[in-house]
Structure 1
Amino acid sequence: MLDDSKNNTRKVTDAICLPHSRFPRIVIVGGGFAGLALVEGLKNKDVQVVLIDRHNFHQFQPLFYQVATSGLEPDSIVFPFRKQFKGYKNVSFRLAEVKEIQNSINTVITDKGKLTYDYLVLATGTKTNFFGMEEVERNSLGMKDIRDSLNIRHMMLQNLEQAAITCDDEERDALTNFVIVGGGPAGVEMAGALAEFCKYILPKDYPEYPSSIMNIYLVEAMDEVLSAMSDKASSKTLTYLENLNVKVMLKESVSNYDGRVVKTKSGKTILAKNLIWTAGVTGDFPKGFDETSIVKGNRLKTDHHLKVYGMDNVFAIGDIAGVITDETPKGYPQVAQTAIQQGRHLAKVLLNTLLSKPSKPFTYKDKGSLATVGKRKAVADLGKFHFGGYAAWLLWSVVHLVSISGFRNKLLVGFNWAISYFTYEKSNRVIIRSFKRTKKVDAQYTSTQE
C-alpha cells in the first residue's frame, strides 16, 4: 500500500522513513492506555501499525502522585515503547510530536517530518485545564506527566529545605503549606500521600520544626470529594482525610494565585508556595479538526464505532473521544478502563473494516472505581458493593500492581510498597536537579539543571 522506505536520507521536513509494507497503514497518535490497548489488538495482524508519541515510553498515570511524594522513582512507572513492542513484527514506533492532521491528503505533520496513513487513530488524551486563569496556571503545577510529578517532588523538597533556613515565620508558613485544587481521585490521593509524608517523614528529616507546621488544604468546588463515586465512598474518604489532618474546603474554588497567596471565590486567602492543580482536564489534540467535530471538554465527537464525525478514516479513543448519546450526554468517564476497552474494541472494528465485515457498536462496561487515601485506607465501588478500609486498599494495590507494564517495574513497585508498608519510609528524598519555574510554550513548567 503505502511505502516511505525508498529514500533513507530524507530531511526532517520530508517524509518519516518506515519499513516497506504491503498492508494498510494504521497510524496511532499517543501511547497511553488506549493507544497501547489498540496496538495489542493489532499486533502481528495483516496491517502496518505506526505509533507516534512525544515520549519514548508509556507512563502509568495512576501512580504519578507517589513519584511526586518520593514514594517511587519515575523509572518504576514508565516503560519504553520499543521494549514493549519487542516481537511485534508489524509495529513501528516513531518519536515525534504531531502538529497537524491533513485528512484531505491522509497525512500527519510532525515536528520530525510527515507520514501518510490509510487509517488514523487519535489517542492523545488530555492536558490540565486551568479554566482561563493565566496567573494560576503560571504559578501552580499540574500532574499530567511524569515530569510534572518530578517537578512537584523537587519543589516540595526545596521549599522544605528553604523553610529550615529562613528565620521569617510567615515565609516558613508559605514554604510548608500545600494547597491541592480538585477533590477527584488524583487530588484525594495526593492529599493523603502528602499527609502521611507530614506525619511520618517530616519529624525525622526536619526535627528543627514540628510536623504541625506543614498544612495541607484540599479545595473542591462541589459539596463532596470523589463526586463520581458513591455517597458512601465520598463520605468515608472525607473522614479518612480529616483523620489525616487534611483541611478539606468543600463548595470552594480558587479565583487567583500569585505564587504566594491563594485567593478563593468566597474571599478566603491561604499563604502557600505550593499549589498542585488537579481540578480539571481538557482534550489535547493537533490542528486539523473543525468545530463540528469538537464537543464539550474539547473532545472529538465520535460515533458508536469511535469514528470521528465527518471523517471516513479517522478515529478517536480514550480521554479524547466524546461518544455523546442520550445515555451518555457527557461522554464516557475519562478513566483508564474506558481507554483500554475502547482500544480493544477499535482493533476489532478496524480489522473487520478491512475484511468488509460489520462491527458491533462500542459499549462501556463499568468494572468499578477505586481510590486510595494514604496507607491501608481506600474506597471501592464495585457494582452494588461499596466498601472502604484495608480490604479496599488491598484490592487497589493488587489492581494497580497487575496493571503496571513490565515484570521489573512490578517488582520495583511491589518492593517499594512492601518497605513502605512496614516502615512508612520513603527512600527517594533527593534533589537531583534544581526546580525553577520556567515558562514553556505549552504553559507547563520544568525543572532546570543549574
Structure 2
Amino acid sequence: MNIPKSNAPRIIVIGGGFGGVSLIKKLQKLEVQVVLFDRHNYHTFQPLLYQVSTAGLEPDSIAYPLRKIFRKNKDFHFRLAEVERVDTNVKEIYTSIGNLTYDYLVIATGTKTNYFGNQAIETNSMPMKTVPQALNIRSLMLQNIEEADITSDPEKRKRLLNFVVAGAGPTGVELAGALAEFRKGILEHDYPELEEEEMKVHLIEGADRVLPPMSETASKKAAKFLENLGVQLHLKTFITDYDGSIVTTKDGTTFETETFIWAAGVTGAPIGGIDGNSLIEKANRYKVDRTNKIEGLEAVYAIGDIALMETENFPKGHPQVAQPAIQQGSHLGKNFKKILEGKTPKPFVYLDKGSMATVGRNKAVVDFKKMHFAGAFAWFLWMFVHLWFLVGFRNRVITFFNWTYSYINYDRAARLIIRPFTKK
C-alpha cells in the first residue's frame, strides 16, 4: 500500500465516525502519522439520517468529506477501503486495497443493524444506518405514494400508504414522527387525489413503552406527541416475519405494507482477526480497559460503540450513542501523548450529558440528570445541540436554513426521487 514513510509512529484508525474523528482531531497535535480507513469518504452525522429518509434534508447536509476535515495535517492519510482482518502478532491490517503495518491501532467501526438472526426481515426490510440506505427509504416512500396516487385498486393503495416502523428507540420515534408530519404537511397539497387519513404510520415496539432508554416521563410525553400526530403505537409487540408485503407479529397480528423500516436495534461491527476473550460475542463489542485498550492485546484500542468498558455506573458498557464515542476519542487522543512519552495514561470517565429525542415540530423530549423537558423548549434545545455537533460550517448553515424554511412553510423541500429504488 502506498503510504509515505515517516519517522513518526504510525497510528491506524479504522472508522471515520464520531469516535474516529474526535480521536484524530487530538492526534493532529502530536508528532505521529495517522492513517484513516473507511468504506465511505465522508463522515455521517447519523442522528439526522431520518431527516434524509423523510425528505427533510439533502444528504450533503449531514455528510462531510473526511479528507477535508484533516487536510491541514500533512501526515494524515485517508484510504477508501474495507478492512478485512487484523494480525496483531505482526501488527498488520489486511484491506481490500492491500496490507499495512502499524505501531498503534484504533478500532472505531461503530455498529451495524441487528436483525436478531431473522433472515426474512434482513432480506426484505429497509434498514437506516447509512446515507445510501436513507436515500433508499426516501425513494421508496415517494415511489409508493406516487403509485398509490394512480392505482385504482383500493387494497393496493392501502398497502402502499401503510408505513410500518419497527423499534421505538430514538431513531424509530423520530422517523415515525417525521412520516406523520409528512402526511400532515405534504400529502394533501402534492397529492389532492389522496386523503390524509389514507396514509397510516405504525410504530411497533417490544417493550412496554416508547424510548425505553430514556426516563418514563420522556416516554409518556413522546407517546402523547406521537398519538397526537396520528401515529399508531403497538407496544409489547414482537415482529416475527416480513415477506416483502406482510409484517407478522408474535401474537398473529399482520400489517400489509410495502414500506417496512427496521430500526429495532444495532450490534457491534467487529474486525476479523480479533476474537477469543477480547470479543464479547453476544454484543459484538471488544472488551476494553479504562484506557480503551482491548484486553489481552498490546497497542490495540477500541472506542465508541464497538468498545465495551465495564464501570460501576455502566456495568454493561456505555450507551451506543454519539457522546461516549466523542468523549472516548478525545480522551484517547490526549492519552496517546502520555503513551508516546512513556507515561501512564489516565482512565476514562464518561460525562453523561443527558439524552434527547424529537417527535416533530415543537415536540421533543430531553432528559438531563434529574431534570426532564418536553415540548417547544426541548425542541429548540434539540435543534441547537444537533447544529452544534454537525461537522462543517456549511452543513450547519444549510441545515439551519432548511429547518427554518420547513418551519415557516410546513414543507419538505428534498422530496426528490433521484435514484429510484427497487425492492429485491
Please classify the TM superposition score into its range, dividing by the shorter chain length: over 0.9
* Alignment partner of 1:289 is 2:274: yes
Displacement of 1:152: 0.2
Report % sequence identity. 52
Please state whether the residue corresponding to 2:122 is helix, strand or coil. Answer: helix
Q: Distance in 2 between matches of 1:403 and 1:327?
A: 25
Displacement of 1:44: 3.5
Pick from 347, 354, 359: which aligns with 1:373?
359
Pick from 407, 411, 417: which aligns with 1:425?
411
Provide the residue aligned with 2:147 in structure 1: 162
CA-to-partner distance for each residue in 1:367-407, whole Å, 9 max, x for gaps?
11111001111001111210100000000001101111111
CA-to-partner distance for each residue in 1:138-185, whole Å, 9 max, x for gaps?
111111001110000000011111111211111111111011000100
Provide the residue aligned with 2:88 in structure 1: 103
Pick from 135, 152, 156: which aligns with 2:137?
152
Provide the residue aligned with 2:167 in structure 1: 182
Q: Distance in 2 between matches of 1:68 and 1:367?
A: 27
Please state whether the residue corresponding to 1:105 is helix, strand or coil. Answer: coil
Provide the residue aligned with 1:112 in structure 2: 97
CA-to-partner distance for each residue in 1:349-371, whole Å, 9 max, x for gaps?
22211101112211111011111
CA-to-partner distance for each residue in 1:27-63, whole Å, 9 max, x for gaps?
0000000000000010031111111111110010000
Q: Which amino acid aligns with 1:422?
A: I
Q: Which amino acid aligns with 1:254?
A: I
Provide the residue aligned with 2:34 in structure 1: 49
* Alignment partner of 1:362 is 2:345: no
Q: Which amino acid aligns with 2:217?
A: K
CA contact (8 A) 1:38 1:346 kept: yes
Output the aligned Cα RMSD: 1.0
* Alignment partner of 1:398 is 2:398: no
Pick from 63, 67, 78: which aligns with 2:52?
67
Please state whether the residue corresponding to 2:171 is helix, strand or coil. Answer: helix
CA-to-partner distance for each residue in 1:100-147, whole Å, 9 max, x for gaps?
111111011000111110000000000000111111111111110011
CA contact (8 A) 1:44 1:88 kept: no
Q: Distance in 2 between matches of 1:250 and 1:204?
A: 32
CA-to-partner distance for each residue in 1:275-300, whole Å, 9 max, x for gaps?
11110111112210123111131101
Matches within 5 A, 1:18-417: 18-295=3-280, 296-417=282-403
Task: Report the more deviating stretch, 26-35 or 46-55.
Answer: 46-55
Aligned length: 423
Displacement of 1:326: 4.8
Provide the residue aligned with 1:11 in structure 2: none
Q: Distance in 2 between matches of 1:228 and 1:429?
A: 32
Higher relative CO (Cα under 8 Å, sequence separation at least 6) belongs to 2
Displacement of 1:20: 2.2
Segments ≥4 residues shifted beyond 4 Å? none
Q: Distance in 2 between matches of 1:218 and 1:160?
A: 19
Pick from 417, 420, 423: which aligns with 1:434?
420
CA contact (8 A) 1:54 1:96 kept: yes
Q: Which amino acid aligns with 1:94?
A: R
Q: Structure 2-normalised TM-score? A: 0.98
Q: Distance in 1 between matches of 2:418 and 2:142?
A: 11
